[in-house]
Structure 1
Amino acid sequence: MRWLPRSLRSRITAAVAVLVTVVVALAGLAIVARIDHRDRTDVDRQLAARVEKGDQDADKLLDQSAHPDTDEGGDDGDDYGGLLAGSQSLVRLISGGKVVAQHGETPTAPLPPPTRDGYRTVDTGGQTWRSLTRPLDTGGYRLEVLQDIDPIERRLADNTAIVAAVTLFAALATAGGVWLLTRIILQPLERLRTGALSISDDTAGPQLPAVDRPQEVADLSRALNSMLDQLRTSMESTRRFTADAGHELRTPLTSIGVTLETLQRNPGLPASQRARALEAMSAEHRRITALLTGLQTLARGDAHALPERTRVVLGELLDTAVAHAARRHPTTTYRLTADAQTPVHVDGWPVGLRLAVDNLLDNAALHGRPDGDVEVRLTRDAGTVRISVGDDGPGIPAGRHHAMTERFTRGARTRSPGSGLGLALVDQQAHLHHGTLHLDQSPAGGLEATLTLPAAEKEEPHGQPTQD
């Protein structure tokens, strides 16, 4: 609707002004109508009271008409409730459709005789008369009592004009007041608009200003800030993924490029050297694939692109994960110990938990002693669940424990070709599941990683399936 004002302030002002105008006008008109109805009812009541005296005084009215010299100012002139000349009242006696006698104020124009009994309103000569006609019991006469109601009409017009003036004043005053009040009321929205204009694509940029009142604007502010946080988190995750991928992929891609160029320039390269070159490129390809998979998983976690949480039985998940890890690392011996007597449950994402456990098992095998042992323990205590994985390798100095959970961080004495994302993935999954990752020295002298998670509040019956 193009005729509506564009600004919210103008729309509120117009709406309230129209509403007040309608309410005041209707209320005023109702009062005016009530007053007018009361005045006209009073006139009808007076006419009825006057006409009741007709039977008693019809003869006197005829005598007054037959003797016009009778003193109208005496006591005999007030026999009809004050119907004297100048009182804006008139009494007429009708016979055979003609006026045979009348007494009272003289109309400015002739009044036609009534054609029927009862009340009627007559307009003549610029005057408005209210009339009541009733037949008399004797003589075949009809008595008509009239009252000039021009004062009532003027009062109605004056009252209507007053209502119109009051309505107009109320509309203007309301519009002015609402215009000023909406400026104050809409200030929080104006602050949000100004804050939104200052927001850029900088992930460290400002948020929208916090608003406490009114409640609706405060809720809007919180919702918008939450949306901005999610957008910035997603943007930061995308930027970090791009930067990490670009940084980490440069070396393996360069290595593959150099190897390919060597093979192209030396078509007669011996088969053994060609095989070694191809194996090196395959290793770099596997490294790139693992790196991209890890970065993609981290990016999804950073963006909180997570499925719905489900109930997971950790004992079954660990059994499956350890069995698969033993097949991936056949020279490593895995030992799983579960201290809990009953099945242990957590609420989370089976894929994420399995990813964290697989990384801990693989790290222990890769960084532990060749042909070594890996101890895996599942314990529960005071509402928490702990998964501990310890190896018998050289370990990591205590001062480097926290740094090892950063992305692309590898131990100084490592002999494995990892990407440096394993413990970072485990640490991310720990935080996503409202838990922690703690690194310490294992009883065998190597590294022990402990993943602590909150246990499910209510245990479910044993045997619930989990995702592999």
Structure 2
Amino acid sequence: MNNAPVWLTPSRWGLALRSALSAGAVVAVALVLGAAALLFVLDRTLLSALDDAATGRAADLTVGLRTDPPADLDSELFDTDQRIALVQVVDTVGAVVRSSQDDLGLPVTGVHPPVGGAPVRGLVSHETGGADLRTTVQGAHGVGGDYTVIVAASEESVEATLATVGGLVAAGAPVIALVAAGVTYKLVRRSLGSVERIRTQVAAISTTDLGERVPVPRPRDEIAALARTMNDMLGRIQAGHAAQRRFIADASHELRSPLATLTTALDVADARPEVLNRDLVRGTLRPETTRMQLLVDDLVLLARADELGLPLRVADVDLDDIVDTEVRRSRADTTVTVTAALTPVRIRGDAAQLSRAVRNLVDNAVRFAATTVSIEVSRSGHQARVTVDDDGPGIPESDRARVFERFVRLDSARSRAHGGSGLGLAIVAEIVSAHRGSVRIDTAEHGGTRVVVTLPVEEGCPESRS
């Protein structure tokens, strides 16, 4: 368990504070590296300028020695300033014959480059009171012999300039880093203000009022995208919650009717035991029990499909055999004429689930047909097709997508004798979707309803049974 104070635990700091400290540290490191590079370049530049000044003075002295002896050279050539600190002319035996100082002294360097050669630059000497002198030495041929011209420049000005710039950077860098940290903190806090408003609004939204939405900031940035995404998610949650409430209400309503019938029949049988005979059992109790069992099975299937997807036991399935079985079953239970045109088609699928889908389609068509139901199984390329036609009242085009929703019964078929539970086509849609197929409703040739189910035929599935 971590008992350290919050201010000693960086992981517990707020995002704004961590961002501000990170920005300040990055800026500080960048300033340190930039200052180091700046001072290095400035040092090289200033030293190069010193060498250029010393080289220019040495060249002037070399030119003067060609016509005048050292003692007659212009005194301006031996003047000193902030750059030039010492000028010496040395003869061939190493003695200083003229200097910018009253005391001729000794040469500040023992280097003697050849006459006519390139000057030697950048020699460092510590001869004058410990101060660094940067010397340029050049050989010269003059009146009375050969000489060595030595011009020394002081590095004090360079050091002073570097110290000034370094001091300014050292004083300004912390201020700049603090300003960067402060600005970052303010900007992050301002951005997080929108996030906090979104969080507060989401926290205030309850399951009883999912119609509220979070505020969307005006700038089209990531925070606005987050708010729009959150509102979309809330919309989906609201739609799902509403669908769940409708589902529960509809399921309760559908189950209430058979339960009420069973309860009434049992109450009558309890009050009058003599009426509990085979007719009551076969005419009332068993049909209502069967109806409630089928409804519960449908609800369990749809709930399982919503949670984990519809489980399938996939195998080779003869689609025409499934349809033929359901056609024979329907012919035994109805007076409607049921015709079938079956082309042998084999697909990969769950035989039990496909049988259930076909049964729902056939029962639905028989329920609404006036006289005839026509069923066809065909294959086109890599698609198998099951077409179910009836000559009933048909389905309006505006309702053809809605009938695949759960507990949907059109107004013209609200009675329980015709409308069923409103789950048949919803189950068909779930089963077909689980088989990677599609289902749609069209108008039949005689004006009734046509339901077309399309299922994929995988490679290797024969068109006919062997």
TM-score by length of 1: 0.61
What's the offset of the Cα at 1:39? Answer: 1.8
SS of 1:330's partner is helix
After superposition, residues 220-299 of structure 1 pair within 5 angstroms as 220-221=226-227, 223-250=229-256, 252=258, 273=277, 283-299=287-303
Q: Which shows bigger deviation, 18-27 or 132-141? A: 132-141
What's the offset of the Cα at 1:325? Answer: 3.8
What's the offset of the Cα at 1:151? Answer: 1.5
Structure-2 separation of matches of 1:111 and 1:254: 128
Structure-2 separation of matches of 1:226 and 1:352: 34
Q: Give deviations 1:82-105, integer Å, cap 9, x for gaps.
A: 348x98522457899998677335
What's the offset of the Cα at 1:291? Answer: 0.8
Cα gap change, 1:247/1:43 in structure 2, threshold over 3 Å: closer, same or farther? same
User: Do the aligned residues in 2 keep the contact of 1:241 with 1:299 (CA within 8 Å)?
Assistant: no
SS of 2:10's partner is coil
Q: Give deviations 1:32-54, integer Å, cap 9, x for gaps.
A: 43332122112223334545647
What's the offset of the Cα at 1:200? Answer: 2.8
Which residue number in structure 2 is paired with residue 153 of structure 1? Answer: 159
Task: Give, as a single letter, the amino acid of the residue that structure 2 aligns with 1:362.
Answer: D
Which residue number in structure 1 is paired with residue 338 of structure 2? Answer: 334
Which residue number in structure 1 is paired with residue 48 of structure 2? Answer: 41
User: Do the aligned residues in 2 keep the contact of 1:386 with 1:450 (CA within 8 Å)?
Assistant: no
Which residue number in structure 2 is paired with residue 422 of structure 1? Answer: 424
Cα gap change, 1:226/1:203 in structure 2, threshold over 3 Å: closer, same or farther? same
Which residue number in structure 1 is paired with residue 100 of structure 2? Answer: 104
Equivalent position to 1:206, from 186, 209, 212: 212
Q: Which runs of 5+ in 1 are unaligned?
A: 64-73, 380-384
User: Do the aligned residues in 2 keep the contact of 1:47 with 1:145 (CA within 8 Å)?
Assistant: yes
Equivalent position to 1:78, from 65, 68, 76: 76
Which residue number in structure 1 is paired with residue 381 of structure 2? Answer: none
SS of 1:90's partner is strand
Structure-2 separation of matches of 1:462 and 1:96: 107
User: Do the aligned residues in 1 keep the contact of 2:137 with 2:151 (CA within 8 Å)?
Assistant: yes
Q: How large is the Cα RMSD of the aligned pairs?
A: 6.2
TM-score by length of 2: 0.61
Which residue number in structure 1 is paired with residue 390 of structure 2? Answer: 390
Cα gap change, 1:327/1:255 in structure 2, threshold over 3 Å: closer, same or farther? same
Which residue number in structure 1 is paired with residue 360 of structure 2? Answer: 359
Q: Which runs of 5+ in 2 are unaligned?
A: 1-7, 113-119, 379-384
What's the offset of the Cα at 1:217? Answer: 4.5
Identical pairs, percent: 25
Structure-2 separation of matches of 1:228 and 1:4: 31
Cα gap change, 1:291/1:191 in structure 2, threshold over 3 Å: closer, same or farther? same
What's the offset of the Cα at 1:20? Answer: 4.3
Which residue number in structure 2 is paired with residue 374 of structure 1? Answer: 373
Structure-2 separation of matches of 1:374 and 1:276: 33
What's the offset of the Cα at 1:158? Answer: 1.2
Structure-2 separation of matches of 1:331 and 1:224: 53
What's the offset of the Cα at 1:223? Answer: 4.5
Cα gap change, 1:104/1:375 in structure 2, threshold over 3 Å: closer, same or farther? same
Structure-1 separation of matches of 2:53 and 2:21: 48
Structure-1 separation of matches of 2:322 and 2:17: 67
Which residue number in structure 2 is paired with residue 171 of structure 1? Answer: 177
